[in-house]
């Protein structure tokens, strides 16, 4: 098949291209023949390539199935369990055969469809060839269905078993950083859900904020405050949204602050003279701990020495939402020492001073759903209860130096119990690892009697699998963040340590370790700034600071700096000054115009001082009365006439 291009020259110029036309149009190639394509040869070549590729794929599949059959025979010979019945095997074989047939047919149809797209259809012999090959090659019993997936599952189980055998490898403790909170015990730790900020509280009443992204290698807190004045901080926890922090202290009123430390709300204090604590609007005694609801925004819980557990809402700080009253088996009230929500928020667990652990349904406040009366020794403060991530297991850290594990579904006896874990603080923590395979808690030591440790227990066997020596003080708080995969520890000597692994951990402490420590600014080191101008005139130069004694001597000689202090003002005004008391209009006017009231002379004498001048030159008063002045009509007594002679003229006039 030949096709001529549009630029072929016809007529008399058919022998060759016209050079003038090529120059006129601006491009060459006129009169050349079009390229010839043999479509039948192309289709045949494509068909052969497709058949060859299908044959290679079929051979690879046959080899893989042969290997699978050998593995299956080997596993059946080693397997102790009885093999499935003949009917089941036949059913499985039929399913496998139908699945293989359908797959082969789908492959054939796909191959045929691909062949139809690129060339003519294959002859019947070629179409049926793959099926005949499959029927000839498959001999003996077929392998069980989904063997490959089962094999993969077995491999995954083997890997899981290997990981379960070595859960210590997931502990991120290769590196650590130390945050200096203060000199007293760090009794509270809180980390927001994203892991960007850490908040610490202690016995020194301070709450400090640490920003991992903003810190450098100096590891300094960017904010410090005392939200509860002179009360020890007992618990700090970020809300599930990370925008609020619950602060529980030794007072009876819990507070909620925002991420920057500003107060959002404060719970109301209850009436301590009411007998039934359910009828008062708030706690009446010291708080122990608190916890946010994991699902509902703005809801949190607190427990107190008034023998109640109360649920609050941030929008309504004037009254609690509901009240739980722990009771003994005889119906007497008992003080809860710690409380927490379950992972789904439907259950509330509290440990009490009589050694019992009580669990309520969140919506039923009367009777507990589970009540174990001798979980720990009576009279000891259970410091922590924590639910696992799957919600089926509860861990309790007792004041009797034990750590126990409970199954919530069968809450009649502990699953495991570990002894020899000394604790001296009423807020010693225990927590689960992010994969729920380890349980972590801290130990306490006397001062100078060793070092506090972070102890790891395997959840499945409850064996002590790992320990970390923290410092020469007690380990009070521990927190294992699931997103960062980092462990935060609060100690009894005022330190907060963060353990991480560069390969297993994310963000957090890794962000601030790589930053170099910033140098202090010069303005922070100088007490006073001086502007040095070496070429300025002497009259504009600033005197350099000298010793204090010489400066005082100069100030003594200065009359302005060493003048006598003003005496105190007594009365309405004294010494040209006006008293500061009084708020009337007259006092205001006197203060502003500063009248001088020191002239104590006789007003009559002051007026008569100008009588002589007025008599000699009557300019102001006398001319006004010259025409209207009355004349004297009555004679005076002689004695009066004598006195009148001596009197001046202006006294003789009668107005």
DSSP state of 452: E
- The residues near 400 (Cβ < 8 Å, ≥ 6 apart) are 376, 377, 380
Model pLDDT, residue 28: 62
How confident is the model over 243-248, as a mean pLDDT?
Answer: 94
Q: Crossing angle for the helix pair 147-165 and 39-78, nearest 10 degrees?
A: 50
More confident site: 651 or 80:
651
Model pLDDT, residue 8: 42
Is the pLDDT assigned to residue 133 strictly greater than 90? no
Digit-coded pLDDT (tens) for 482-507: 999 999 999 999 999 999 998 888 88
Model pLDDT, residue 308: 93
Is the pLDDT assigned to residue 53 strictly greater than 70? yes
* Other beta carbons less than 10 A from residue 471's beta carbon: 17
Residue 507 Rama label (left phi>0; alpha psi -120 to 50; beta) = left
Diameter of the chain measured on Cα atoms: 178
Is the pLDDT assigned to residue 208 strictly greater than 90? yes
Model pLDDT, residue 86: 43
Nearest CA among 416, 411, 484, 492 for reference residue 451: 492
465 neighbors 457 (Cβ within 8 angstroms): yes
How confident is the model over 470-491, as a mean pLDDT?
Answer: 92
Please give the Cα distance from 98 to 105 (Å, whole number): 10
C-alpha torsion angle, residues 8, 10, 15, 20 (rounded to 10): -70
Model pLDDT, residue 232: 92
Model pLDDT, residue 13: 44
How confident is the model over 153-177, as a mean pLDDT?
Answer: 66
Percent of the chain with pLDDT over 90: 34
Is the pLDDT assigned to residue 117 strictly greater than 50? no
Is the pLDDT assigned to residue 302 strictly greater than 80? yes
Q: How confident is the model at residue 577 (pLDDT cuts 50, 70, 90)?
A: low
Model pLDDT, residue 393: 92
Digit-coded pLDDT (tens) for 395-414: 999 989 999 999 998 888 89
DSSP state of 278: G
Please give the Cα distance from 577 to 582 (Å, whole number): 14
For 75, the token pair is 């596993």
Is the pLDDT assigned to residue 288 strictly greater than 90? yes
Which of helix, strand or coil describes residue 383? coil
Residue 576: exposure state from Cβ atoms within 10 A (0-12, 13-18, ≥19): exposed
Digit-coded pLDDT (tens) for 350-395: 999 999 999 999 888 778 888 988 889 888 889 999 999 998 999 9
Digit-coded pLDDT (tens) for 144-161: 544 444 444 444 444 444
Residue spans of beta strands (DSSP E) within 183-295: 186-191, 197-202, 207-211, 223-225, 233-238, 244-249, 255-258, 263-266, 287-292
Burial 455-470 (b: 16+ CB within 10 A, else e): bbbbbeebeebeebeb
Q: How confident is the model at residue 300 (pLDDT cuts 50, 70, 90)?
A: very high
How confident is the model over 194-218, as a mean pLDDT?
Answer: 90
Model pLDDT, residue 25: 63
How confident is the model over 535-557, as a mean pLDDT?
Answer: 73
Q: Range with the lowest mean pLDDT among 404-413, 421-430, 569-578?
A: 569-578
Q: How confident is the model at residue 514 (pLDDT cuts 50, 70, 90)?
A: confident
**pTM of the predicted model, to two decimals?**
0.56
How confident is the model over 266-277, as a mean pLDDT?
Answer: 90
The chain-wide mean pLDDT, for the chain, equals 77
Model pLDDT, residue 535: 60
């Amino acid at each position: 098949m030949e096709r001529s291009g549009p630029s072929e020259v016809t007529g008399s110029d058919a022998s060759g291209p016209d050079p003038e036309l090529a120059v006129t149009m601006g491009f060459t190639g006129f009169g050349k023949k079009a390229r010839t394509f043999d479509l039948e040869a192309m289709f045949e070549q494509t068909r052969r390539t497709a058949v060859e590729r299908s044959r290679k794929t079929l051979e690879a599949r046959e080899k893989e199935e042969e290997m699978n059959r050998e593995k299956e025979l080997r596993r059946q010979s080693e397997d102790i369990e009885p093999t499935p019945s003949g009917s089941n095997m036949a059913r499985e074989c039929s399913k496998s055969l139908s699945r293989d047939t359908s797959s082969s047919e789908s492959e054939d149809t796909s191959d045929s469809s691909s062949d139809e797209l690129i060339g003519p259809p294959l002859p019947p012999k070629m179409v049926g060839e793959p099926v005949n090959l499959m029927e000839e090659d498959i001999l003996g019993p077929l392998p069980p269905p989904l063997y490959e997936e089962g094999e993969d599952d077995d491999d995954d189980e083997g890997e899981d078993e290997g990981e379960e055998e070595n859960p210590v490898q997931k502990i991120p403790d290769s590196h650590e950083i130390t945050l200096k909170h203060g000199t007293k015990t760090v009794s509270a730790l809180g980390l927001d859900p994203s892991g960007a900020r850490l908040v610490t509280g202690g016995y020194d009443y301070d709450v400090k904020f640490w920003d991992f992204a903003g810190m450098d290698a100096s590891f300094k807190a960017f904010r410090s405050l005392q939200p509860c004045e002179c009360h020890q901080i007992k618990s700090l926890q970020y809300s599930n949204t990370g925008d609020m922090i619950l602060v529980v202290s030794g007072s009876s009123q819990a507070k909620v602050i925002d991420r920057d430390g500003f107060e959002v709300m404060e719970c109301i204090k209850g009436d301590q003279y009411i007998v039934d604590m359910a009828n008062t609007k708030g706690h009446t005694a010291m708080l122990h701990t608190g916890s946010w609801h994991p699902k509902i925004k703005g809801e949190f819980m607190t427990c107190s020495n008034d023998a109640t557990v109360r649920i609050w809402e941030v929008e309504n700080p004037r009254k609690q939402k509901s009240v739980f009253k722990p009771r003994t088996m005889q119906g007497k009230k008992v003080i809860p020492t710690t409380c927490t929500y379950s992972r789904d928020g439907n259950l509330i667990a509290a440990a009490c001073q009589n050694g019992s652990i009580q669990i309520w349904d969140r919506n039923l406040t009367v009777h507990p759903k589970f009540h174990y009366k001798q979980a720990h020794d009576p009279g000891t403060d259970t410091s922590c209860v924590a639910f696992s991530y799957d919600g089926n297991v509860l861990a309790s850290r007792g004041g009797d130096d034990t750590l126990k594990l409970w199954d919530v579904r069968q809450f009649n006896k502990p699953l495991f119990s570990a002894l020899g874990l000394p604790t001296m603080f009423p807020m010693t923590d225990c927590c689960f690892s992010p994969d729920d395979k380890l349980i972590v808690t801290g130990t306490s030591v006397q001062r100078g009697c060793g070092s506090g440790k972070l102890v790891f227990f395997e959840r499945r066997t409850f064996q002590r699998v790992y320990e970390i020596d923290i410092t020469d003080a007690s380990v009070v708080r521990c927190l294992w963040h699931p997103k960062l995969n980092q462990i935060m520890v609060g100690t009894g000597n005022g330190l907060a340590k963060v353990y991480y692994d560069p390969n297993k951990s994310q963000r957090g402490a890794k962000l601030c370790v790589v930053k170099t420590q910033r140098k202090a600014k010069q303005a922070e080191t100088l007490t006073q700034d001086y502007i040095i101008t070496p070429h300025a005139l002497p009259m504009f130069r600033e005197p350099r600071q000298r010793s204090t004694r010489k400066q005082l001597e100069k100030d003594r000689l200065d009359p302005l700096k060493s003048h006598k202090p003003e005496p105190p003002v007594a009365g309405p005004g004294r010494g040209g000054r006006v008293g500061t008391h009084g708020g009337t209009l007259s006092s205001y006017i006197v203060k502003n115009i500063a009248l001088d009231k020191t002239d104590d002379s006789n007003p009559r004498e002051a007026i008569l001082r100008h009588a002589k001048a007025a008599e000699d030159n009557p300019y102001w008063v006398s001319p006004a009365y010259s025409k209207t002045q009355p004349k004297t009509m009555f004679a005076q007594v002689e004695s009066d006439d004598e006195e009148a002679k001596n009197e001046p003229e202006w006294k003789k006039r009668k107005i």
